[in-house]
Chains A and B, each alone.
Chain A
Amino acid sequence: MGANIGNWLDERFGWRSVWEAIFLRKIPHVNWFYTLGSATLFVAMTQGITGILLTMYYVPDPARAYDSVVYITTQLPMGWFIRGLHHWGASAMVVLTVAHLLRVFFLGAYKYPREVTWITGVFLLLVVIGFGFTGYLLPWDQRAYWATTVGTRIIGVAPGIGEWLLRVARGGSELSAVTLARFFGTHVWILPAALLTLIGVHLYLVIRIGISAVPEKDE
């Protein structure tokens, strides 16, 4: 009965071949360092889920942002846990992404035919750093405020257009309500959209080309 329904659905969806292509593909004999990419992906998923949960209470307004974060952490049942996961997951994202990048680099996995996978991966690293930078401001406490003051000031030292870029990043000359709102919008809309698109391409290439084997001594 169950098998019949499965067959009936598969005739229409064709999901078995998709499942086989994704999960039953042949891979070379590799080591544990090859799991870093998957680890990054799964932490990214928990960041997405906990982040969505946080937006149910967080308010991106200077008058209320800090109070709403305190409310999440101290008043809500399990709020400390959800926020804690998102907080530590953010650090884990950066560590795992860099570790994954180092694995690919040192094992030469970026070479033909995987150059585009590498390039999308580099952009993914930038997106992850962007998440970290924009997310850091959102609690709107002293550390967030001054870290972003310094961080955006760094943009300002770019030659020529630095001052202008600084104003774009802050939405004016000073850190303000505009800064907080645009960092929030970037953190929850622009960067997730970029992340999903890039992960889509990245994973498509990983599945289409397959992963590289550990190089031999004389390779």
Chain B
Amino acid sequence: MTPAQDKQANRRDFMKTAIVAIGGIIGGAIGIPAIPYIIGPAQQKDNEDWIRLGAVSKVELNVPTLFKTTLETQTGWVSSEEEFSVYVLTENGQDFSVMSNICTHLGCRVRWIPDQDGFFCPCHNATFAKDGSVVDGPPPRPLDQFEYKVEDGVIFVKRG
């Protein structure tokens, strides 16, 4: 190999390496940010704030009391309002149990029927006891309970 050819070969190798390196940098500069960009929304924590229900004094002793409120939810670039209802039960006015009104079977809304002393789900005739435990029907578990706190006579539940 003459010196000229040798130089030529080196130049070619250099260009190859340079192209691969620069291409790799450009590819990485777009490819790497693309990953958090795509999976970002999945990583975001769902809203976890306290929802104000109302005055504790409204809760009757031994009767599940319905609290209704509207929630503002922000999903992506859309903010929407949804109805949010829970039943609050207390036996001593001190300790509460805050139950979801969503049936654990398929997500229908349950309703407290005072005459039958139970929650009734209209979809598949499920009944839950006052404390949320399943009495009858297909639900796999008792009504979901919310974490709550009482501040200055107002009860809050934790979203999520």
| Binding partners A and B | yes
Q: How many Å lie between the Cα of A81 and that of B78 in the bound state? A: 22
The closest CB in chain A to the CB of B32 belongs to A78
Q: B132 CB to closest chain A CB, in angstroms?
A: 37
- Which label, helix, strand, loop or mixed, suits the secondary structure of the B interface? helix
Interface size on B, residues (CB 8 A): 13
CB atoms of A49 and B30 under 8 A apart: yes
Q: How many Å lie between the Cα of A59 and that of B40 in the bound state? A: 18
Q: How many Å lie between the Cα of A81 and that of B36 in the bound state? A: 11
- A70 CB contacts on chain B under 8 angstroms: 77
Q: How many Å lie between the Cα of A56 and that of B34 in the bound state? A: 11
- A163 CB contacts on chain B under 8 angstroms: none
CB atoms of A79 and B38 under 8 A apart: no
Interface size on A, residues (CB 8 A): 21
Q: How many Å lie between the Cα of A50 and that of B30 in the bound state? A: 8
Q: How many Å lie between the Cα of A46 and that of B40 in the bound state? A: 21
CB atoms of A59 and B77 under 8 A apart: yes
- B33 CB contacts on chain A under 8 angstroms: 78, 81-82
Q: How many Å lie between the Cα of A67 and that of B37 in the bound state? A: 17
* Segment 59-87 of A: residues with Cβ below 8 Å from B: 59, 64, 67-68, 70-71, 75-79, 81-82, 85
The closest CB in chain A to the CB of B22 belongs to A42
CB atoms of B37 and A46 under 8 A apart: no
User: With an 8 A cutoff between CB atoms, is B76 at the interface?
Assistant: yes
Q: B28 CB to closest chain A CB, in angstroms?
A: 13
Q: How many Å lie between the Cα of A42 and that of B23 in the bound state? A: 10
Q: A49-B30, A50-B30, A85-B30 are in contact. Are A77 and B37 (CB under 8 A)?
A: yes
CB atoms of A68 and B30 under 8 A apart: no
User: With an 8 A cutoff between CB atoms, is B41 at the interface?
Assistant: yes
CB atoms of A76 and B78 under 8 A apart: no
0/1 interface trace, chain A 18-46, chain B, CB 8 Å (1 if under): 00000000000000000000000010001
- B40 CB contacts on chain A under 8 angstroms: 75-79
Contact of A53 among B37, B43, B76, B77 (CB under 8 A): B37
- A49 CB contacts on chain B under 8 angstroms: 30, 34
Q: A49-B30, A50-B30, A85-B30 are in contact. Are A78 and B37 (CB under 8 A)?
A: yes
Interface residues of B (CB under 8 A from A): 26, 30, 33-34, 36-38, 40-41, 43, 76-78
